[in-house]
Amino acid sequence: MRYWVSLILIVVAVYFGGPWISRHVPSEYNPFTPLAITDPPNLITRYKLRQLDNNPHECLAALERAQKDGAIQFSSAGDMGGKCPLINPVRVRGFGEVTLSSSYLASCRLALSSAMFVGQVAKPLASQELGSRLLKIDHLGSYACRNVYNKPDARLSEHATAEALDIAGFELADGRHLTVLKQWPQSGTEAQYIHTLFAESCPFFGNSIGPDYNAAHANHFHLGMRWFGFCR
């Protein structure tokens, strides 16, 4: 409810104050400026991300700007048919100097949100809290043509539309390998890093689901694009 009230206020402000906003408001708070990979996950940024769902060309342009800035490496993957078709998916290959256990298919907005999360949270937090550079992200995949929990009577999973990424671990430049499964139930700086990562992922995605949600997520974070603000 709060989201929709805020969205209505944004629309009213845009309608009546558009010219003034364009001239005087910083880009991260300006609904008229294109999304930047460095924009914080405030209400305006979330609004811009949602708008990109209906504008694939602008979404791709935002990804290309991010790639030019070195925040992400990706390529267009081409449309896919079948039971779980994909329109305008991309293949994400890394986030700047942060590599991946393997490339993965993603919707444009998942790719953008992931790059923003890695660049604004995962990378700087590793240096600040653990004293080492984030080197690699280990994941369990994104696209999978299946129902939720593989149940025959369930709805299609976010993975069936490449709108979710399952992250399992992080490798640091000093050789440490942190995993959600190992660090989540522990205490100390490494466990705190994992917990903080999960908590701060929530504003960048529609839903963040972790080990406290159920046993199926004991070893990974599910970061998806559906809904708004679901974080458990």
67 contacts: CB under 8 Å, gap ≥ 6: 73, 74
3-class DSSP state for residue 117?
Answer: helix
CATH code at 129? 3.30.1380
pLDDT for res 15: 52
pLDDT of residue 132: 98
Q: What's the rounded Cα separation, in Å, for the pair 159 and 164? A: 5
Determine, yes or no, domain membership for 39. Answer: no
Q: Residue 106 pairs with which residues in a beta bridge?
A: 90
Rounded Cα gap, residues 164 and 180, in angstroms = 17
Q: Residue 145's pLDDT is what? A: 93
The answer to whether residue 52 sits within a structural domain is no
In the 8-state DSSP scheme, what is residue 88?
A: S
The answer to whether residue 205 is domain-embedded is: yes
Residue 109 lies in a domain: yes
Q: Is 227 exposed, middle or buried (0-12, 13-18, 19+ CB in 10 A)?
A: exposed
Q: What is the pTM of this model?
A: 0.87
The tokens 């609904």 sit on which residue?
31
What pLDDT, on a 0 to 100 scale, did the predictor assign at position 99?
Answer: 98
Number of structural domains in the chain: 1
**Residues forming a β-bridge with 164:** 224
Is residue 162 situated within a structural domain? yes
pLDDT at 32: 85
Q: Residue 20 has what pLDDT?
A: 52
Residue 12 located in a structural domain: no
Cβ of 32: how many Cβ atoms within 10 Å?
Answer: 14
Tens-digit pLDDT profile for the chain (232 aa)? 554 444 555 555 555 555 554 555 677 778 888 999 999 999 899 889 888 888 999 999 999 999 999 999 999 998 988 889 999 999 999 999 999 999 999 999 999 999 999 999 999 999 999 999 999 999 999 999 998 888 887 788 999 999 999 999 999 999 999 999 999 999 999 999 999 999 999 999 999 999 999 999 999 999 999 877 789 9
C-alpha–C-alpha distance, residues 29 and 20, integer Å: 13
Would you say residue 225 lies in a domain? Answer: yes
- Rounded Cα–Cα distance for residues 70 and 61 (Å): 14
List the beta strands (DSSP E) in 111-218: 134-141, 164-172, 177-179, 207-209
Domain that holds residue 219: 92-231
Instruction: Determine the pLDDT at residue 230.
Output: 86
Q: Pick from 151, 156, 177, 67: which is nearest to 111 by CA? A: 67
Q: In the prediction, which pLDDT does 198 show? A: 97
In a domain, 203, yes or no: yes
Q: Are 88 and 79 in contact (CB under 8 A)?
A: yes
